[in-house]
Amino acid sequence: MNCPSCHQEMSQEKLDAKYGKSFELDICHFCSAFWFDDLEDLALTPDGVLHLFVVINDNRPSQRSPLATAMACPRCRQRLVLMHDTQRTTRFTYWGCPSEHGHFITFFEFLREKNFIRPLSAPEIATLKQNVRTVTCSSCGAPVNVETDAVCAYCRAPLSMLDSKQVEAVVADLKREASKRGTVDPALPLRLLEDRAVVERSFRSNERGPFGFELTDSSGLVEAGLAAVVALIKGR
């Protein structure tokens, strides 16, 4: 399958789904986006979501391709329609097929949909200003001058970061599911499953800066937080 935006061939990643099933997700790493057929995203399990964290982090492009202004469904070639939706109180966007073959969504909007991203508070923005002058917008990849702006000047996305509490919740769900099966996924370190607080501690640690992870002028806050979580998942 080719990407609806850049038309390059997408890669496939096999993911666990609910009820013991699995599916192959189509991923464009150049555009940092997923194509979900039909209702595939609703079938994702907590361990499938954590696996996507690793995939997103390990295949992050050095420069993201801007999305095309017009995109077509890879199944029927109809023009995709920009959709605005809300999950709980979080707004997110994606591009849907009019015939409901599936939808195209960026990594950032996927994380918003799953409630993994939250805007920075005023004190957090003040702390950020003391450490870096600019960050990369996690939504569109543009530079954001944190000394003057709290939103991206290009896509208007607010400065946001990975929400450690939601990551904790997913880890807790994974632990409960593993307990029901009587098995633990060997791909995840045992200490991550046994101690959900390790994720929260890693975000609040002062050893690597006020945000608990490395920040540079070329960093995206979401990407930096994601890298910290992936390091825990891999047991580094």
> Per residue in 108-136, pLDDT tens?
999 988 888 888 888 888 888 888 888 88
* Average pLDDT of span 46-75: 88
Q: Identify which of 160, 159, 162, 168 has the alpha carbon closest to the alpha carbon of residue 201.
A: 168
Convert the pLDDT of each residue in 176-220 to its tens digit.
765 665 555 555 544 444 444 444 454 444 334 444 555 554 568
Indicate the pTM of the whole model. 0.79
Which amino acid, residue 9? E
Higher confidence at residue 174 or residue 11? 11
The confidence score (pLDDT) of residue 208 equals 42
Q: What are the CB-based long-range contacts (under 8 Å, 24+) for 192-200? A: 192/232, 192/233, 192/235, 196/168, 196/171, 196/172, 197/168, 198/232, 199/164, 199/167, 199/168, 199/171, 199/229, 199/232, 200/164, 200/165, 200/168
Which of left, alpha, beta for 2 (phi over 0: left; psi -120 to 50: alpha)?
A: beta
**3-state secondary structure (DSSP) of residue 95:** strand
